Amino acid sequence: MIKLEQIRKVYKTRGGYHTVLDGIDLTINPGEKIGILGANGSGKSTLIRILSGAEMPTDGQVHRGMSLSWPLAFGGAFQSHLTGLDNLKFICRVYGLNYRDRREYVEDFSELGKYMREPVKSYSSGMRARLAFAISMAVEFDCFLIDEIISVGDARFHAKCENELFVKRKDRACVLVSHQAKNIREYCTRAVVLKGGKLTCFDTIDSAYAYYKEVTG
Asked if 91 and 139 touch (Cβ cutoff 8 Å), the reply is yes
Q: Which is nearer to other proteins, 15 or 96 (CB)?
A: 96
12: left (phi over 0), alpha (psi -120 to 50) or beta: beta
Taking CB under 8 A as the rule, does residue 41 contact other proteins?
no
Taking CB under 8 A as the rule, does residue 84 contact other proteins?
no
Taking CB under 8 A as the rule, does residue 56 contact other proteins?
yes
Q: Which is nearer to other proteins, 51 or 205 (CB)?
A: 51
CA distance 43 to 16: 18
Lay out the site mask for other proteins across 96-135 (x = CB under 8 A, - = otherwise): x---------------------------------------
How many alpha carbons lie under 13 Å from residue 77 in its C-beta half-sphere? 26
Taking CB under 8 A as the rule, does residue 144 contact other proteins?
no
Q: Which of positions 57-76 make contact with other proteins (CB under 8 A)?
A: 68, 70-71, 75-76
Q: Which is nearer to other proteins, 49 or 160 (CB)?
A: 49
Q: CA dist 86 to 90, 134, 182, 192, Å?
A: 6, 14, 34, 37
Q: How many of the other CB atoms lie within 10 Å of CB of 1?
A: 14
Binding site for other proteins (CB under 8 A): 11, 49, 52-56, 68, 70-71, 75-79, 81-82, 86, 89-91, 93-96
